[in-house]
């Protein structure tokens, strides 16, 4: 099946490529920002700047500057840069909409809405003194913003899949949703300090247990994606980019489970492990989104539905020349 909306080469390729890489760059910066936000939380620096959007009433509070203040201040600075970058992204998509797919202005506009909403939630986390539901919503919106930028960038790239992938796109999408939900549960555990509360005071154990139980369906869904990719590889119908996605998914899943086990055993006492656990979770979500997008593109573009081996079995008999009469 083909669809001109997503087919590469249908629109202005130079502009499409620039916008794609700009969106992917913003997505990468957003993942780094989430890691920085996690560092701010584990270092108890979330309220180091007591006001918002300035810090101690200044853009750069030199007199109050220490490690905690710097983390919160730098986190806000990077978030502002990403916000302005998203304005440029959406503005460019609207200005050049005639040379881009029709969905591009809408998708980038949605990303702009998310980053504005994210900024509002960031301010509320300070004014509401790190209320756990606002902190969790802040994380969820950040992950949604990251996922939107990544999807926009990947769809704009010039990718021509060779083989159909069946229902892989739905399996990968379900796995990505599972990882997203599990990340939200992890944020809820972190924002309520549920691990410390459960181990120390036997409180909030239900919150912690829900996160631990959620590991099972999220892992099963990711393993189903890997199994599907292995089957396509065995049938010689796996595109190189999907194969790379499979390696990333396997790597990040292994690292995430290992970091989660170590973080739980050490009761969140090692801050770098906690930060790495949340960052790798975002990377795992991103790799599943990549798998979903590539599989989706293979379903909307003209692709081969048989393996190259089957094509070699087709024999063509040359026509017999007609005899001429004397």
pLDDT digits (tens, 9 = 90+) for 110-144: 999 999 999 999 999 999 989 999 999 999 999 99
For the range 49-58, what are the long-range contacts, defined as Cβ-Cβ under 8 Å and sequence gap of 24 or more? 49/73, 49/76, 49/126, 50/126, 51/126, 52/76, 52/122, 52/123, 52/126, 52/127, 53/123
Q: Tell me which residue of 190, 185, 192 sits closest to 215, measured CA to CA.
A: 185
Residue 139's Cβ-side half-sphere holds a number of Cα atoms within 13 Å equal to 28
Tens digit of each residue's pLDDT (9 = 90 or more) over 184-234:
998 888 888 777 677 666 666 888 888 889 999 999 999 999 999 999 999
Report the domain count for the chain.
Answer: 2
Domain boundary among 107, 139, 158: 158
Residue 320 covered by a domain: no
> Is 107 within a domain?
yes
Q: What is the pLDDT along the chain (326 residues), one digit of tens a residue?
A: 344 555 554 556 788 999 999 999 999 999 999 999 999 988 889 999 999 989 999 999 999 999 999 999 999 999 999 999 999 999 999 999 999 999 999 999 999 999 999 999 999 999 998 999 999 999 999 999 999 999 999 999 978 788 889 999 999 999 999 999 999 998 888 888 777 677 666 666 888 888 889 999 999 999 999 999 999 999 988 999 999 999 999 999 999 999 999 988 887 778 899 899 999 999 999 999 999 999 999 877 655 444 443 434 444 445 454 444 43
> Of 158, 176, 207, which marks where a domain is finished?
158
Domain check: are 171 and 269 in the same one? yes
Non-local (6+) Cβ contacts of 271 within 8 A are 39, 42, 43
Residues 176 and 298 in one domain: yes
Is 316 part of any domain? Answer: no
Helix boundaries (H) for 128-204: 132-156, 168-191, 194-201
137, 181: one domain:
no
Shared-domain flag, residues 67 and 142: yes
Is the same domain home to 21 and 119?
yes
Report the distance separating Cα 263 and Cα 47, nearest Å: 24
Domain that holds residue 52: 1-158
Residue 295 contacts residue 249 (beta carbons within 8 Å) = no
**C-alpha pair distances (Å), 31 with each of 28, 167, 241, 247:** 5, 28, 21, 19
Spatial separation of the C-alpha atoms in residues 162 and 289, rounded to whole Å: 19
Helices in 43-167 by DSSP H: which ranges? Answer: 67-95, 103-127, 132-156
Q: Where are the alpha helices (DSSP H) in 192-239?
A: 194-201, 205-234
Q: Are residues 128 and 217 in the same domain?
A: no
198 shares a domain with 106 = no
Give the C-alpha distances (Å, rounded to integers) separating 43 from 1, 48, 111, 133, 276: 52, 10, 29, 20, 14
> Residue 53, preceding bond cis, omega within 30 degrees?
yes
Asked which of 123, 158, 193 is the last residue of a domain, the reply is: 158
3-class secondary-structure state, position 140? helix
Residue at 309 is within a domain: no
Indicate if 55 and 143 belong to the same structural domain. Answer: yes
Identify whether residues 98 and 23 lie together within a single domain: yes
**pTM of structure:** 0.88
């Amino acid at each position: 099946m083909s669809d001109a909306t997503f087919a590469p080469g249908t629109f202005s390729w130079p502009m499409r490529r620039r916008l794609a890489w700009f969106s992917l760059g913003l997505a990468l910066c957003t993942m780094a920002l989430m890691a920085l936000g996690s560092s701010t939380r584990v270092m108890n620096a979330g309220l180091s700047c007591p006001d918002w959007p300035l810090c101690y009433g200044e853009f750069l509070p030199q007199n109050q500057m220490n490690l905690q203040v710097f983390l919160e201040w730098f986190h806000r600075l990077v978030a502002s840069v990403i916000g302005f970058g998203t304005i440029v992204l959406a503005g460019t998509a609207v200005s050049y909409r005639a040379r881009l797919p029709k969905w591009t202005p809408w998708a980038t506009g949605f990303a702009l809405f998310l980053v504005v909403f994210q900024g509002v939630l960031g301010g509320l986390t300070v004014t509401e003194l790190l209320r756990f539901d606002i902190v969790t919503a802040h994380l969820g919106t950040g992950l949604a913003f990251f996922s939107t930028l990544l999807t926009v960038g990947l769809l704009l790239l010039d990718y021509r899949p060779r083989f159909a992938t069946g229902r892989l796109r739905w399996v990968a999408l379900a796995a990505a949703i599972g990882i997203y939900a599990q990340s939200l549960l992890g944020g809820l555990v972190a924002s309520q300090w549920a691990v410390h509360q459960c181990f120390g005071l036997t409180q909030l154990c239900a919150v912690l247990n829900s996160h631990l139980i959620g590991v099972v369906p999220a892992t099963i869904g990711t393993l189903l994606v890997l199994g599907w990719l292995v089957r396509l590889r065995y049938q010689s119908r796996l595109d190189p980019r999907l194969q790379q996605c499979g390696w990333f998914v396997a790597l990040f899943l292994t690292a995430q489970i290992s970091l989660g086990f170590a973080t739980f055993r050490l009761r969140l006492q090692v801050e770098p492990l906690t930060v790495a656990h949340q960052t790798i979770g975002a990377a795992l979500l991103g790799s599943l989104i990549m798998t979903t997008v590539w599989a989706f593109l293979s379903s909307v573009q003209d692709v081969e539905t048989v393996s190259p081996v089957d094509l070699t079995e087709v024999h063509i008999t040359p026509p017999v020349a007609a005899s001429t009469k004397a």
